A and B are shown apart, each in its own frame.
Chain A
Amino acid sequence: MSNKDKGAAAFTAAPYQPDTGWSARMHLRPTWLFALILALLFAAAVGNLMVGAAGFSVEQSLRALFLPDTSVETALIWEVRLPRVLLAVLVGANLAVAGVLIQTLTRNPLASPQTFGINGGAALAIVVAVIAVPGLSGGSTVVPAFVGAAVIGMIMWILSLSNAITPLKLALAGIALQLVLAAMVQAVLIANNASADIVYWLAGSVTTAQWSKVWTILPFSLVGIVVAIAGGHHFGLLALDTSTGMSLGQNARRTGGLASALIVILAGSSVAVAGPIGFVGLMVPHIVRTLVGEEQRTVLILSVAAGPLLLVAADLGGKLVAYPAELPVGIITAILGAPAFLPITWRNRNQ
């Protein structure tokens, strides 16, 4: 919330100026914003360490975090709460970056891993694989996740190439696809008497976080995010039409293929560890673009910080709002994100 307020303040303080691209001033603002988001993220993370079945003070949490000893606090924070925060950070970053890439690649402002059914495809593949191969668990669920995400991603990407389908219509088709996939997941689960924790995973949750899950997603996050930022300018050119991109030395097919692979890796690995969390990949790119403009690499870098902030804050909200019960973080992001859908639709209504 305060993040948004600051953004509005920044807008009024610095009136719009022509995009000179490399001026020092244009770079200053994203830098400050990045620092601000990181500070908020740290605050939200500390809040997450404090809140739980046993509440800790700020001092207790920070002491256990930075000066670990043999106390109960240290054990609880290092074994339960810290992995959960880190998992939320990684999943948030993954989904936000995947959202930026998919919106650029398909030139569709309503695109996101969720609205295009990619999360749903990964979730269905995981559920089917876990039931079909009884020994499958933990890190190996990323394999079916990638397959499911890739299949759905491929379908939606091919559809997005058609000029006859408006972005809004494609988004609606993607949502229909996602609803079908979700219904199929439910059907498979009910048909096989699935346990309650899969149902919890399905709402999108970091509650069952462990270090092993953090290690599962970490390599994919690192590779995906580093490559996305390193290639930021190339991906930005994808937003232009193909001929313009080509005249600028862009190999559209190769860049598009790389972006698709990154989306699958980022979204698939986050579904594998935390379930299909919606609306993060949709909202974060829009909020970031509203604050800093369209420059692709800036948007990517800020999303890497803003995605975690949203998810860690939402997780904290999920712990507080139903205390002592806990709400899956996916429900919080849906409650925040569903209304955010409206202004995005509004802006694109004429297409």
Chain B
Amino acid sequence: MSMALTQPQMSQPWRTTLVCIALGLLVVVLALISIALGAVPLSLDRVVAGLFGGPDAFIISQYRLPRVVIAILSGAALALAGLFLQVALRNPIASPDVVGITKGAGLGAMLALIFTPPAWIVWSVPAGVILGAALVALLLLAIGRGLGGGITTLALVGVSLGALAQAVMQFLMVRYPRGIDQSMVWLAGSTYGSTVADIISLSIWLLACLPAVVILAMMLDVSTFGDDTLKSLGLSPNVVRAGLVLTAVALTAGAVASVGSIGFLGLLAPHVARLMVGPRARHLVPATALTGALALLLADLIGRLVALPNEIPAGIVASVIGGPYLFFLLLWEARRRG
């Protein structure tokens, strides 16, 4: 907060605009590269031609473009979910994966996949994802409140809930091998096999979340001045907090239903965005979304290239990069306080 006050007020919107434009350009460039590279490498002009109906239109529109779009949308959703959780729980190390929400969503999806009739799966899997994510969030808040938790306690509760969900998922994989391929994707997190239908359903879901994101972004700027400021404006801090958690759950559910449980991205992206545009929410929200999209695109690209001809799921790449960040974040925080 003091940071925001000492910075020149006028330059901030310009800076944010510039950062967002730069991030947006990077996303586009990376998306084009990502479309160009693959089992059949395409030159950039063939990619551009293919996007507008050239000879490579089939491979691009059916295989490569869906992956890229899904990565962008899911990355943005996970990053925003991380931001909202960090604000709502007042916890810099909160994010949908650290607190176990992504694993809960994956478990819900698996249960739906295994135990509902095949004809229902179109509806039951999204419902399972949402219920799983919401259940973990509820448990987390209930247990966290019971524990009277500091930030580390809450994170440890989330980690153990996530570990439990993961163990149950592994159990289900051995017990009911029928859905094992899809389950592996939910466990590791990957954009592999995304389709146009996935894009449509994820877009509809995220569009439905968008009003909540915008309203919360406006409220957050008020809430950084403290609960009293919120109250004086007639807003209950608990309602705002509940809205943040709910929206984070909805965003996470959408992302997990498309790409599985991708770790550490929701933790990392808000921090990077905060470094670039400062703490004000109306700047932070777009920058975080773009950073998340960029991060997942990058993780996906690295995973595809680093071990050719094999493909390492983006979730694993994200963990290898993001995990050390959490490690050092904790130590740095400890040193700063100690």
A331–B175 Cα gap in the complex (Å)? 12
Per-position binary interface string of chain B over residues 69-96, scored 1 when its CB falls under 8 Å from any chain A CB and 0 otherwise: 0000000000000000000000001000
Per-position binary interface string of chain B over residues 145-161, scored 1 when its CB falls under 8 Å from any chain A CB and 0 otherwise: 01111101101110111
Task: Find out whether the CB atom of B174 lies under 8 angstroms from the CB atom of A176.
Answer: no
Q: Residues of B contacting A192 with CB < 8 Å?
A: 307, 310
Residues of A within 8 A of B (CB): 110, 159, 162-166, 168-169, 171-173, 175-177, 179-180, 182-184, 186-187, 190-193, 203, 278, 321-322, 325-328, 331, 334-335, 337-339, 341-342, 345-346, 349
Given contacts A165-B338, A335-B168, is CB(A179)–CB(B319) below 8 Å?
yes
Given contacts A180-B323, A338-B163, is CB(A349)–CB(B143) below 8 Å?
no
Task: Find out whether the CB atom of A183 lies under 8 angstroms from the CB atom of B316.
Answer: yes
How many B residues face the partner with a CB closer than 8 A?
49
Q: Name A348's closest neighbour in chain B (CB-CB).
A: B153
Jot down 25 A-B pairs with beta carbons below 8 A, ordered by A: A165-B338, A168-B152, A168-B153, A173-B331, A176-B327, A177-B323, A179-B319, A180-B320, A180-B323, A180-B324, A183-B315, A190-B307, A190-B310, A192-B310, A203-B170, A321-B175, A325-B174, A325-B175, A331-B170, A334-B163, A342-B157, A345-B160, A346-B146, A346-B147, A349-B149
Task: Find out whether the CB atom of A165 lies under 8 angstroms from the CB atom of B334.
Answer: yes
A138–B135 Cα gap in the complex (Å)? 44
The CB with the most chain A CB atoms within 10 A, among B156, B161, B170, B331, is that of B156
Q: Min CB distance, B209 to chain A, in Å?
A: 28
CB of B171 within 8 Å of the partner chain: yes
Task: Find out whether the CB atom of A165 lies under 8 angstroms from the CB atom of B170.
Answer: no
Given contacts A328-B174, A335-B164, is CB(A191)–CB(B159) below 8 Å?
no
The 8 Å CB contact of B175, one of A110, A172, A278, A327, is A327
Other than the given A187-B307, A191-B310, 10 more pairs (CB < 8 A) read: A162-B334, A175-B156, A175-B159, A180-B320, A180-B323, A187-B317, A334-B170, A339-B160, A341-B159, A342-B157
The 8 Å CB contact of B164, one of A110, A182, A184, A338, is A338
Q: Residues of A contacting B171 with CB < 8 Å?
A: 321-322, 327, 331, 335
The 8 Å CB contact of B153, one of A182, A184, A339, A345, is A345
Task: Find out whether the CB atom of B166 lies under 8 angstroms from the CB atom of A322.
Answer: no
Task: Find out whether the CB atom of B160 lies under 8 angstroms from the CB atom of A331.
Answer: no
CB of B219 within 8 Å of the partner chain: no
CB of B260 within 8 Å of the partner chain: no
Is the contact region of chain B dominated by helix, strand, or loop, or is it mixed?
Answer: helix
The CB with the most chain B CB atoms within 10 A, among A193, A337, A346, is that of A346
Task: Find out whether the CB atom of B147 lies under 8 angstroms from the CB atom of A164.
Answer: no
Task: Find out whether the CB atom of A342 lies under 8 angstroms from the CB atom of B143.
Answer: yes
Task: Find out whether the CB atom of A172 lies under 8 angstroms from the CB atom of B319.
Answer: no
Residues of B within 8 A of A (CB): 93, 143, 146-150, 152-153, 155-157, 159-161, 163-164, 166-168, 170-171, 174-175, 177, 188, 263, 306-307, 310-313, 315-317, 319-320, 323-324, 326-327, 330-331, 333-335, 337-338
The 8 Å CB contact of A180, one of B167, B168, B315, B319, is B319
Task: Find out whether the CB atom of B327 lies under 8 angstroms from the CB atom of A173.
Answer: yes
Q: Name B323's closest neighbour in chain A (CB-CB).
A: A180
A180–B307 Cα gap in the complex (Å)? 18
A163–B335 Cα gap in the complex (Å)? 9
Task: Find out whether the CB atom of A193 lies under 8 angstroms from the CB atom of B310.
Answer: yes
Given contacts A164-B338, A168-B156, A173-B330, is CB(A334)–CB(B167) below 8 Å?
yes
Task: Find out whether the CB atom of B320 lies under 8 angstroms from the CB atom of A166.
Answer: no
Q: Min CB distance, B1 to chain A, in Å?
A: 24
Q: Residues of A contacting B168 with CB < 8 Å?
A: 335
Q: Min CB distance, B106 to chain A, in Å?
A: 15
Q: Name A163's closest neighbour in chain B (CB-CB).
A: B338
Task: Find out whether the CB atom of A179 lies under 8 angstroms from the CB atom of B263.
Answer: yes
Task: Find out whether the CB atom of B155 lies under 8 angstroms from the CB atom of A172.
Answer: yes
Q: Residues of A contacting B315 with CB < 8 Å?
A: 183
Q: Min CB distance, A37 to chain B, in Å?
A: 25
Q: Name B318's closest neighbour in chain A (CB-CB).
A: A183
The CB with the most chain A CB atoms within 10 A, among B157, B306, B323, is that of B323
Q: Name B335's closest neighbour in chain A (CB-CB).
A: A164
Q: Min CB distance, A347 to chain B, in Å?
A: 10
Q: Name A335's closest neighbour in chain B (CB-CB).
A: B167
Q: Residues of A contacting B316 with CB < 8 Å?
A: 183, 186-187, 190
Given contacts A187-B316, A322-B175, A331-B174, is CB(A176)–CB(B326) below 8 Å?
yes
A171–B319 Cα gap in the complex (Å)? 18
Q: Residues of A contacting B177 with CB < 8 Å?
A: 325
Q: Residues of A contacting B306 with CB < 8 Å?
A: 191
Q: Min CB distance, B187 to chain A, in Å?
A: 9
Q: Residues of B contacting A339 with CB < 8 Å?
A: 160, 164
A187–B333 Cα gap in the complex (Å)? 29
Closest 9 CB pairs of A and B: A164-B338, A180-B323, A191-B307, A183-B319, A334-B167, A338-B164, A341-B160, A176-B326, A165-B334
A187–B319 Cα gap in the complex (Å)? 10
Task: Find out whether the CB atom of A159 lies under 8 angstroms from the CB atom of B331.
Answer: yes
The CB with the most chain B CB atoms within 10 A, among A171, A184, A322, A345, is that of A345
Q: Name B177's closest neighbour in chain A (CB-CB).
A: A325
Q: Residues of A contacting B313 with CB < 8 Å?
A: 190
Q: Min CB distance, B47 to chain A, in Å?
A: 26
Q: Name A166's closest neighbour in chain B (CB-CB).
A: B152
A187–B305 Cα gap in the complex (Å)? 12
Task: Find out whether the CB atom of B152 lies under 8 angstroms from the CB atom of A172.
Answer: yes
The CB with the most chain A CB atoms within 10 A, among B148, B334, B335, is that of B334
Q: Residues of A contacting B324 with CB < 8 Å?
A: 176, 180
Task: Find out whether the CB atom of A164 lies under 8 angstroms from the CB atom of B310.
Answer: no
A342–B171 Cα gap in the complex (Å)? 21
Task: Find out whether the CB atom of B157 lies under 8 angstroms from the CB atom of A172.
Answer: no
